[in-house]
């Protein structure tokens, strides 16, 4: 009998887990820019779509809340006088402003 078996033969499950961790680490490194931007997408989508629902389609607030509801939680603050929507999700905040009947809503640049 060979006393020196390879690590893979001695521990096949551990070897598979180690290989999967290396692959996942490689994917995370490859997609690092996209993963950093993802949290901003949630709040931006919510602000823009809610603004369009409320001020372009003139739908009631209850309908628009259900229209933009996502699996990930977000909060919505509406300023009806200035027609501005601020949405927060995953720790990021985005604001959309109604520009007019022909322009609709647009996202405002983040405040530093």
pTM, rounded to two decimals: 0.71
Largest Cα separation within the chain, whole Å, is 84
12 falls within a domain: no
Region of 83 on the Ramachandran plot (φ > 0 left; ψ -120 to 50 alpha; else beta): left
* Tokens at 57, concatenated: 């389609």
22 falls within a domain: no
pLDDT tens-digit profile of 12-23? 888 888 899 999
How many domains does the chain divide into?
Answer: 1
HEC profile of 61-98:
HHHHHHHHCCCCCEEEEEECCCCEEEEEECCEEEEEEE
Q: Which residue range is the domain that position 55 belongs to? A: 39-107
Predicted local distance difference test score (pLDDT) of residue 10: 77
């Amino acid at each position: 009998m060979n006393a020196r078996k390879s690590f893979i033969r001695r521990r096949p499950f551990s070897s598979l887990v180690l290989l999967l961790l290396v692959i996942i680490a490689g994917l995370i490194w490859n997609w690092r820019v996209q993963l950093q931007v993802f949290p901003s997408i949630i709040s931006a989508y919510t602000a823009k779509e809610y603004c369009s629902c409320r001020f372009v389609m003139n739908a009631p607030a209850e309908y628009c809340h259900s229209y933009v509801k996502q699996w990930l939680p977000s909060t919505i603050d509406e300023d009806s006088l200035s027609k501005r929507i601020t949405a927060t999700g995953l720790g990021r905040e985005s604001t959309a402003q109604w520009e007019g009947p022909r322009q609709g809503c647009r996202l405002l640049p983040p405040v530093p």
